[in-house]
Homo-oligomer: A and B are copies of this chain.
Amino acid sequence: MKRGHQVTMKEIAKKLNVSVSTVSRALKDSPELHPDTKKRIVEMAKSMNYQPNLLAQSLRISRSKVLGVIVPELTSHFFSSNISGIQDTAYKRGYNVMICQSNESYVQEISNIRVLVASQVDGLLISLSRETKSYQHLQDLYDREIPFIMFDRVTEEIPVSRVTVDDEHGAYQVTHHLLEQGCRKIAFISGPQDLYISKKRKGGYLKALAEYGISEAESRVYISDLNQESNRQIAYKILEEENRADAIFAMIDPVAVDVMLVLKEKGIRIPEEIALAGFTNNPTSSVVEPSLTTVSQPGYEMGQIAANHLLDQLDEIVSDEPKSFVLGTTLIARNSTLKIKI
């Protein structure tokens, strides 16, 4: 394909019989320049539709004004909200965003980092893949002093800033709410155990149980791979259990929805026989029937905060001292747990 040639300063200079540096000065409105010359150049630039080559500028100043973002998947509503917040924030502050998805793969994640770093991004915003259990690639980034921060899927092993929601408290809120509704046999469907959020949310679940005198030994934790098949199997397992659970708390909404479908197929009434709750407040959760109790997790704001903080660090508005931002969660009680309906 014929590729469009971009007008350069050189071409403007030639047409006007001035030097390139004069053009450069005119275009950045340098005061030490004859007004007429300046005017002629600026007008010519406009008429030729001149656009500065950001690549060249970046190379010169060794700053690309581009942020790299890595998320496990783009199609999840939560992550696309994050990206939306990051993108809007970056754009407002004169930065562009390069986006990669790891597809929940550790190897992809490493490869993504490599490419973004080679592309000279000024900083990285990373949300770890499910597979990521070793953090050497992040340690390398840290050692090479490449600015980056983590959001949502984070690790505490590397001393960089993090943005998360208060996973533990959110899970506590849900569990506490179920207990208040009279449930005492609450199953918790967790994701893979090494996941930061699995640990945190399980912690909140156990804490709430403890307050009602239910020990960890009496807790009911199930581990899902978080795919539909795994979710359904666990639902079946829970139903077959003797002394069956009277409530199910799924670590993320999609799991809860899968479970809901199984319960409905089996004709089990929600919440009368089994109450059901999720986490994240996906758009789907409000429209399923019964509507799903969940915890809202402000994805867009997380993206904004993460991007603003990283840019603050880059622009040296704040120090590069690692900070941990923990966003509040809000319980959204809906019909899937409310035994007395409104």
| Interface assignment of A13: CB less than 8 Å from any CB of chain B | no
Q: Give the residue among A6, A74, A100, A122 with the most B Cβ atoms within 10 A.
A: A74
**Complex alpha-carbon distance, A320 and B288, angstroms:** 46
Q: Could you say which residues of chain B place their CB within 8 Å of the CB of A73?
A: 84
| Interface assignment of A145: CB less than 8 Å from any CB of chain B | yes
So how many copies of this chain end up in the complex?
2
Given A58-B55, A145-B3, CB of A80 within 8 Å of CB of B74: yes
- Residue of chain B at shortest CB distance from A101: B87
Number of interface residues of A (CB under 8 A): 61
How near does chain B come to A182, taking the closest CB pair, in angstroms? 25
A5 close to B81 (CB less than 8 A): no
| Interface assignment of A230: CB less than 8 Å from any CB of chain B | no
- A23-31, A39-47, A112-120, A205-213: which one contacts chain B? A112-120
From 175 to 225 in chain A, residues with beta carbon under 8 angstroms from any chain B beta carbon are none
Q: Could you say which residues of chain B place their CB within 8 Å of the CB of A146?
A: 3-4
**Complex alpha-carbon distance, A289 and B120, angstroms:** 49
From 243 to 291 in chain A, residues with beta carbon under 8 angstroms from any chain B beta carbon are 257, 260-261, 283-284, 287-289
A120 close to B284 (CB less than 8 A): no
Q: Could you say which residues of chain B place their CB within 8 Å of the CB of A116?
A: 96
